[in-house]
Amino acid sequence: MKYKLTSYDERETAEIAENIESEKFPNMTICLIGDLGSGKTVFVKSFAHALGIDEDITSPTFNIIKEYLNGELPLYHMDVYRLEDSKEDIGIEDYFDKSGVTIIEWADMISNRLPEERLEIKFKIIDENTRLLILTPYGEKYKEICEVIA
């Protein structure tokens, strides 16, 4: 089942991220999919802020993985855009069991490496400010999160 949420500005995207953060659990994986400028990094920044992380959150395009360890749970923020055709093993899968939250931007680029249980969020640009977020839960815990926030 898919759940659809409409965000009319960045503040509403932030609220969606904060609502999902309030349902967090260790080893949670959130996969973000969407075009440039669709709101993926806004989502991650808001999620991190709600976790109590006070560092500046930027998309880790050139680092691929950034670790933020000073929140309620560790946050592992990945931008895998550059890995689309790569066969290189950089240990992404190791993060799924590190008792933190893993958020992956451009997750569709590595669909064969994603954990079976995860929350997938597709960001669709409707107009300059409006985004449609389509949440697809894989696993019972993620379905429960969607039921709570939808």
Which of the residue ranges 41-50, 62-71, 77-86, 122-131 would you say has the lowest mean pLDDT? 77-86
State the DSSP H helix or E strand holding residue 51, giving kind and residue range, or none if neither.
Answer: helix 40-51
Tokens of 102: 């893993």
Question: Residues with Cβ < 8 Å from 11, sequence gap 6 or more?
Answer: none
**Closest to 135 (Cα-Cα) out of 150, 148, 125:** 150
- The domain of 112 spans 3-82+91-129+138-149
pTM: 0.93
Residue 25 amino acid letter: F
- Measure the CA–CA gap between 95 and 105, rounded to whole angstroms: 14
Torsion angle of alpha carbons 77, 83, 88, 91, nearest 10°? Answer: 10
Does 50 score more than 80 pLDDT?
A: yes
CA of 123: how far to CAs of 76, 99, 130, in Å?
A: 20, 26, 10
| Sign of the torsion formed by the C-alpha atoms of 50, 149, 80 and 29 | positive
Q: For the chain, how many structural domains are there in total? A: 1
92-108: per-residue pLDDT in tens? 889 999 999 999 999 99
Mean pLDDT for the stretch of residues 28-36: 97
Q: What is the CATH number of the domain that holds 34?
A: 3.40.50.300
Name every residue whose Cβ is closer than 8 Å to that of residue 5 and which is 6 or more positions away in sequence.
16, 132, 133, 135, 149, 150
